[in-house]
Structure 1
Amino acid sequence: MNFKQKISETLGNKVLDIETINRKDALPASVQEIRARRERAEVLVRKKALLSSGATVVPIPGFDFGMDMKLMRDVIEDVNKIYGLDHQQVNQMSDDMKNRILMAAGIQGSQLIGKKVSSGLLKVFIRDVAK
């Protein structure tokens, strides 16, 4: 087990209580099931994003980049399992479907980053104004 994996598992499982996804679920059969899986995936992504942001404070050059790459791979695999997909099924999708999924993921990621950055900037601004 390498250092990044040990850190992510220790912090992720014990501190942030990140769910461990060990097996692939069946494909969703209803809209309600899709909504429930979406909520489960969003919670997982938020916690992994928090773990990623925490890696930036470690004063080891390149550590945050390596941690981000590991967490991105883990998130993709875990979300695929939550929705009942595996790597082979995703690779068999048409290019149009892959592009739509990539665009949706990019939009969701940008919105999440925008919310986090905006709230962080607002906190800094309020703190500076309050002085």
Structure 2
Amino acid sequence: MIETREELDEIRKTCRTMVTKSSSLSAGTAIIPIPGLDIGSDVAILLRLIPKINEKFGLTPEQIESLDTESKVMVMTAISNVGSKMAGKYITKKLVVSLLQKMGVKVAAKGATKFVPFIGSAVAGGISFTAMKYMGNSHIDDCYEIALAAMENDLPANATEPMFEPKPSELD
């Protein structure tokens, strides 16, 4: 389990880098004028990316299941409060397609622009990059909130920072 805000911030930073790389890959695929290639690619990218983000934050179903009962309840409550559709869940193709459909306007616009010579492919790539970045960063924000809530609920009621063991040199 994540113990400090600094550790949580570092995980968020690492995940944002992963999202940017995945968004670039999505944009690169979107500029290829083959119908359906970009949607299939986006599904494949998200099927890899979302579980990696969940894992970094300790929010895969297996990680949650391995927690003690009290911690598990705290995490599941935090997931429910945040309203995340992807944290703590098995990420399936059906779930990813459903999320992409909710972004339908951007996806439809991306598909239509591909057939405008030259400029259309660039626009499709830009839309794809932006949509993928939005979805990934939104998920990171949800996971961050969930992990922060779980971390803060794990503290004693009067504590404001995580408790650390004193170093032997501090005991002298």
Scaled by the length of structure 1, the TM-score of the pair is: 0.51
Per the alignment, residue 80 of structure 1 pairs with: 54
Q: Structure 1: which amino acid aligns with 2:134?
A: G
Q: Distance in 2 between matches of 1:72 and 1:97?
A: 23
**What's the % identity of the aligned pairs?**
24
Per the alignment, residue 42 of structure 1 pairs with: 16
Per the alignment, residue 127 of structure 1 pairs with: none
Query: Any stretches of 5+ residues in structure 2 without a counterpart?
Result: 66-74, 86-102, 104-132, 138-172
Residues 86-123 of structure 1: per-residue CA shift (max 9 Å, x gap): 13539x82473351x35xxx9x827x7xxxxxxxxxxx
Structure with bigger gyration radius: 2
**Paired residue secondary structure (2:46):** helix
- The structure carrying a bigger helix percent of its residues is 1
Runs of 4+ in 1 over 4 A off after TM superposition: none
Residues 66-105 of structure 1: per-residue CA shift (max 9 Å, x gap): 0001111211111011112213539x82473351x35xxx
Q: Structure 1: which amino acid aligns with 2:40?
A: G
Scaled by the length of structure 2, the TM-score of the pair is: 0.40
User: Relative contact order (alpha carbons < 8 A, sep ≥ 6): 1 or 2 greater?
Assistant: 2
**Paired residue secondary structure (2:76):** coil
Q: Which moved more, 1:33-42 or 1:59-68?
A: 59-68
1:59 is matched with which residue: 15, 33, 45? 33
Q: How many residues get paired?
A: 79
Query: Any stretches of 5+ residues in structure 1 without a counterpart?
Result: 1-26, 113-131
